[in-house]
């Protein structure tokens, strides 16, 4: 692919405006692009279940510190079978989990309050609505009843004939359309866009790397691809990695994809999924569309949530 | 209802044997009764999606200590908009969640390793396979690809014409069958049994109470009802409360329902759901069957997981 | 004791000004009244060690939720002897501790940044120096090298001839002076004021109670007593309870003792010590002065710390 | 220094026996070598306070994952000044700390239950007294009233004329005696042995490294040096690093110093102190003895504790 030119700050602001959904579903809307998933589309998604298989798109929860996991999950047994309940049989074992989940090793979904651009959240809400006690609005409970719809996988390494995209490589809207043509699918209104760069495949084969600005970076979308997602009225974004190209293609904006998707568009965005179990099923079924059901924990004032999104064929 | 007589320890052991699935799906099986959910049944469950609505069956994560919540979830902001990233726009807020989730205020699912009866886990595995580093087998990752199937709600307060069952009241197999008749549904092979006692409704109206053996107790199933679930080949159990009647109806066995369902039957059991949003939908739709998709976090060596099970109509 | 009259908001502001140490040790001072502990006084404190006994003034870390412990400590084993290191002998067991320590069941010390009055921290610093990433100044590392000096116990229940003070009872400066006379000690410059209301004795005998404004309250100092502490140039304050009388004796100010001690005076204040092991030693030794060594954890950006202050005789 | 020869397993067992204190202070003793600190010696230690200075020997609590910090401390703000109490002034900020403290980046002390050799804890107690609920004996509360005594620093890099010892280098009893002579001090009964290899100095200058068996290792004591500590009746051990030479000098024993000190001798051992603030004070004072006061948190069933040990001159 030819490398697209970087955007200036001014071009980015124009792009932000052109994809902005503020006010589209009312001034206090918290569901954003999930509004595109009508009952009709949800029902149609269920109609995709034909072979009766379900596949997780989540990573195992990662407890090991590393270059891409500075905040490993903390997991301990609370009680084991060496301790007996006074009440007699049966006996129980229990555990405890703690996690700072906005990281590249934890499959999670972001609440709309997670991102601000120039002091504003989605729908133009001010950032002071998020305090040290948590967000007063746009928390993850806006997605409490789950994200249920049609998932469409666009597999960019498959299109390019490579195992994975290398850090820093960006995928444009044109390339997404090329993938659509190659796979015979088309992203449409209310769809859940499942975007594969091969990030996790690379990690499985080469080991973890520092994918931050201080390190090697990562592949992702080009900012301009958001125009396509906006036109197509995509409802949700489920990438491996987090969708960002690092370093960014926009001058002075470090995470342009987050800014556009979440702050401008109000899109339900998740991070750090994996599709290494999904891809073989798609290949066997020879289809890249399926029902998706993904349900964040009902965490009041949560800025996001660990979750385990499921593809159903 | 007439109060059923308590079981003797011997009668309980006979009951345990009569519903025991050890070896049924091979000596190392870890999916237990989920094996009843065939691709055909999963597909049929998706066929129940007709009106395109989804409803959560989870409680909000509870951060407030109380008589039924001795281990409240721990939830803090990691970073807020008062801190600016060195990288410039956009800005991020993030949080941290910690939880000992096997409690009556946290909607969760149990791994099969969570319960042992007389030193044995499901399939006769010894309890020493669970160490202080966690279970070596039967952890929650056995359910990684989600529990997807037909949910059937049996609403016992509706049958009895009460708002909720009182602590200590037990529901027999006969009463489950009466509820089936009243609602026009029938629990069948591979179904997810959604069992309502009104536990959460009572809590909403009267406030929390100590539902342990040291306190007032709670309503649940009678041990003998497990014969019905076994005969019907139920795949999973989704109750409000945890399905147990406290105090127990079995001499010398404190949690007989857990022992039978998990240790004997290998059933996918969850705890502490709520159906206060589900029931109105069922009433509107005039049906008590729906698609269920429930996905535990992929927690290696987890004895269970927080989750947010979704009913889809 | 006659009950002292409440203070008006205006009287309180006058009191605040009269005990205010802002600027006394320079505009960026973070040690506040610990500056009163000169090397000479520290040496003199060591001279009080005559019988060679040490006594803890800390509570056991409390892991049980209750009316005065809404955020119980979280403590789990990390690894036990059922897991063997690959490296062979010896074997290890390990644990994990988590705590929100500013509570009445956790013996802790406050950093000066912990309290603001009318938007100002000690020395007039603005509260925006404390962000969601923690305090930029006046954190607990200001006390990194420990608080070492002469402790003087004033035992108010002993003076009054009661087992403990009841919730809501306030101790005035006059009563502190009466206790000094009764015990034959005098609080002086650079001293650590060990203040006993019998809070923990009451808890041991009657069980925990809700000591907040929503509950029964607690005994403590009267706001006007801070004049005495200021005149005497007391360096640190080590109470059972947290020194506050709840409800407050000041109109419109809920925690006047904290406001005066920390925000105005810059005093090293700790919370929730216990003296049930200390008192018998004082009685045996017939002295109420001793060396104190108390060292907070070196927690960068900490607003306080769990600690275990030691009295040495 | 000539490199000492490794010990065989048999020689190690003989060494273990020769320094073993099992039964010395009774079969249920939990204070071990702290019994050597008599009231007389504690009083004498206080007599060392002459210049009135106190110095911390703790590291800052480390929140950053790295090769020697796989379990970074977890530290968040609970509430900040952007949230206002309903009760009005003053306002509060608070934080939360979580830590798995047995690691090389957290200054901590071990409980005697922390180490087992061939299935036995100190005093021959069986390891099954430590369950998933924690130790039933020999927990850290045995040290609740603090470790108070004479500290003696032996500074090996000073003796050798180097900045620090390199990983893998071992210090023998002979070298300890050479350091004593060079510094004009002598470790005696009831002393707290402050042992400097320069571990933290190296880390400050070269950055962190993997000091485990899988990595570069670390300098420490030679196993045979425990004979000297035993003969001298040393009460406690306060090293930078954890006292171990990694890799070990004993065939088949990975942590021989821990096995000897804790399991055999019942010595109060701490880990991962730093002396970079202590050494300049010793040099100024031209003395290597001082009062030490070190108090673990009173953590029931704790296998150790974070702490901040203080040297007083």
Interval C116-146: pLDDT, tens = 999 999 999 999 999 999 999 999 999 999 9
Mean pLDDT of B282-303: 98
CA distance readout (Å), C93 to C78, D22, D210: 7, 20, 21
pLDDT reported for residue A3:
66
Q: Which residues of D touch C97 (CB under 8 A)?
A: 98-99, 101, 297, 299, 302, 305-306
Q: Measured between CB atoms, which of B51, B77, B299 is closest to A134?
A: B77
Please indicate if any CB of chain B lies within 8 Å of the CB of D97. Answer: no
Confidence of residue D3 (pLDDT cuts 50, 70, 90): low
Q: Which residue has the tokens 């006010």?
A: A23
Please indicate if any CB of chain B lies within 8 Å of the CB of C94. Answer: no
CA distance readout (Å), D147 to A2, D142, D258, D259: 68, 10, 19, 21
Q: Which residues of B touch C98 (CB under 8 A)?
A: 74, 98
Contact partners for chain C, using 3 or more CB pairs closer than 8 A, are A, B, D
Q: A18 vs chain D: nearest CA distance in angstroms?
A: 34
Q: Which residues of A touch C76 (CB under 8 A)?
A: 76-78, 96
Q: How many angstroms separate the CA atoms of D313 and D52, rounded?
A: 6
pLDDT reported for residue A5:
78
Beta bridge partners of A312: A54, A291
Q: Which of C16, C44, C52 to probe by mutation at the D interface, max D CB count within 10 Å?
A: C52
> Hey, what are B122's tokens?
């499901």
- Res. A181: pLDDT tops 60: yes
Confidence of residue C3 (pLDDT cuts 50, 70, 90): low
Cis peptide before A247 (omega within 30 of 0): yes
Please indicate if any CB of chain D lies within 8 Å of the CB of A8. Answer: no
pLDDT reported for residue C278:
98
Mean pLDDT of D85-92: 94
Mean pLDDT of A251-271: 97
Q: Are B261 and B270 contacting, i.e. CB atoms less than 8 angstroms apart?
A: no
For chain C, what percent of residues have pLDDT higher than 90? 97
Q: Are B233 and B36 contacting, i.e. CB atoms less than 8 angstroms apart?
A: yes
Q: Which residue has the tokens 């990390």?
A: C78
Q: Are A301 and B114 inside 8 Å of each other by CB?
A: no
- Res. D48: pLDDT tops 60: yes
Chain D residues 221-240 with a CB less than 8 Å from chain C: none
> Hey, what are A267's tokens?
């899109």
Please indicate if any CB of chain B lies within 8 Å of the CB of A28. Answer: no
- Res. C2: pLDDT tops 60: no
What was the ipTM of the complex prediction?
0.97
What's CA D182's distance to the chain center, in Å?
23
Q: How many angstroms separate the CA atoms of D82 and A132, rounded?
A: 7
Confidence of residue B3 (pLDDT cuts 50, 70, 90): low
Q: Which residues of C touch D294 (CB under 8 A)?
A: 295
Please indicate if any CB of chain A lies within 8 Å of the CB of C133. Answer: no
Average model confidence (pLDDT) for chain B? 97
Q: Measured between CB atoms, which of A132, A148, A306 is closest to B297?
A: A306
- Res. A294: pLDDT tops 70: yes
Confidence of residue A2 (pLDDT cuts 50, 70, 90): low
Q: How many angstroms separate the CA atoms of C140 and C238, rounded?
A: 16
Q: Which of C148, C231, C146, C256 is nearest to C192 (CA)?
A: C148
Q: Give CA angle at D114 (D108, D119), nearest 5°.
A: 165
Confidence of residue C30 (pLDDT cuts 50, 70, 90): very high
Mean pLDDT of B75-104: 95
Handedness of CA D158, D161, D167, D172 (dihedral sign): negative
- Res. C187: pLDDT tops 70: yes
Q: Are B87 and A175 contacting, i.e. CB atoms less than 8 angstroms apart?
A: no
Rg of chain C, C-alpha, whole Å: 20
- Res. B47: pLDDT tops 70: yes
Q: How many angstroms separate the CA atoms of C63 and D100, rounded?
A: 16
Q: Which residues of B touch C72 (CB under 8 A)?
A: 65, 70-71
- The number of C-beta contacts closer than 8 angstroms across B and C is 51
DSSP 8-state symbol, B206 = H
Q: Are B96 and D80 inside 8 Å of each other by CB?
A: no
Q: What values do phi and psi take at C74, rounded to 5?
A: -110, 120
Average model confidence (pLDDT) for chain C? 97
Rg of chain B, C-alpha, whole Å: 20
Q: A7 vs chain D: nearest CA distance in angstroms?
A: 34
Q: Which of D153, B195, A144, D97 is nearest to C296 (CA)?
A: D97
Please indicate if any CB of chain B lies within 8 Å of the CB of C205. Answer: no
Q: How many angstroms separate the CA atoms of B218 and B211, rounded?
A: 5
Confidence of residue B95 (pLDDT cuts 50, 70, 90): very high
Q: B29 vs chain A: nearest CA distance in angstroms?
A: 18
Query: What tens digit of pLDDT does each residue of D73-82 get?
Result: 999 999 999 9
> Hey, what are A150's tokens?
């049609």
Please indicate if any CB of chain C lies within 8 Å of the CB of A80. Answer: yes
DSSP 8-state symbol, A189 = T
CA torsion B16→B18→B19→B25, rounded to 10°? 110
- Res. B6: pLDDT tops 90: no
> Hey, what are A102's tokens?
């906005």
- Res. D267: pLDDT tops 80: yes
- Res. A132: pLDDT tops 60: yes
Q: Measured between CB atoms, which of C59, C90, C117 is closest to D115?
A: C90
3-state secondary structure of B309: coil
Q: How many angstroms separate the CA atoms of A219 and A240, rounded?
A: 10
pLDDT reported for residue D278:
98
Q: Residue B78's closest chain D neighbor by CA?
A: D76
Query: What tens digit of pLDDT does each residue of D190-230 get?
Result: 999 999 999 999 999 999 999 999 999 999 999 999 999 99
Q: Residue C76's closest chain A neighbor by CA?
A: A78
In SS3 terms, D35-73 reads as HHCCHHHHHHHHCCCCCCCEEECCCCCCCCCECCECCCC
* CB atoms inside a 10 Å sphere around CB D72: 22
Query: What tens digit of pLDDT does each residue of C63-91 get?
Result: 999 999 999 999 999 999 999 999 999 99
Q: How many angstroms separate the CA atoms of C229 and C261, rounded?
A: 9
Q: Which residues of B touch C135 (CB under 8 A)?
A: none
Provide CB contacts within 8 A for B300, sequence distance 6+.
A60, A61, A63, B134, B139, B141
Q: How many angstroms separate the CA atoms of A112 and A266, rounded?
A: 6
């Amino acid at each position: 692919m030819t490398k697209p030119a970087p955007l200036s700050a001014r071009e980015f602001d124009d792009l932000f405006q052109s994809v902005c959904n503020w006010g589209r579903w009312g001034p206090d809307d918290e569901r954003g692009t999930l509004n595109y998933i009508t009952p009709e589309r949800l029902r149609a998604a269920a109609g995709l279940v034909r072979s009766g298989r379900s596949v997780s798109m989540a990573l195992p929860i990662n407890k090991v510190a590393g270059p891409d996991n500075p905040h490993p999950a903390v997991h301990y047994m609370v009680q084991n079978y060496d301790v007996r309940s006074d009440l007699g049989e049966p006996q129980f074992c229990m555990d405890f989990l703690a996690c700072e989940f906005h990281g590249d090793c934890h499959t999670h979904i972001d609440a709309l309050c997670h991102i601000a651009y120039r002091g504003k959240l989605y729908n133009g809400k001010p950032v002071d609505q998020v305090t040290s006690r948590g967000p007063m609005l746009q928390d993850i409970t806006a997605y409490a009843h789950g994200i249920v719809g049609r998932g469409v996988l666009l597999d960019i390494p498959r299109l390019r004939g490579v195992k994975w995209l290398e850090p820093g490589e960006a995928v444009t809207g044109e390339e997404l359309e090329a993938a659509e043509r190659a796979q015979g699918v088309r992203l449409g209104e209310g769809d859940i866009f499942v975007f594969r760069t091969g990030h996790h495949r690379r990690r499985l084969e080469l080991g973890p790397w520092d994918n931050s600005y201080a390190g090697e970076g990562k592949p992702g979308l080009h900012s301009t691809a958001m125009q396509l997602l906006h036109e197509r009225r995509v409802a949700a974004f489920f990438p491996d990695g987090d969708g960002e190209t690092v370093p960014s293609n926009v001058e002075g904006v470090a995470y342009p994809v987050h800014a556009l998707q979440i702050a401008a568009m109000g899109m339900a965005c998740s991070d750090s999924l994996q599709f290494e179990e999904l891809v073989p099923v798609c290949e066997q079924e020879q289809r890249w569309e399926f029902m998706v059901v993904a349900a964040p924990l009902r965490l009041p004032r949560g800025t996001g949530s660990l979750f385990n999104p499921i593809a159903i064929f």
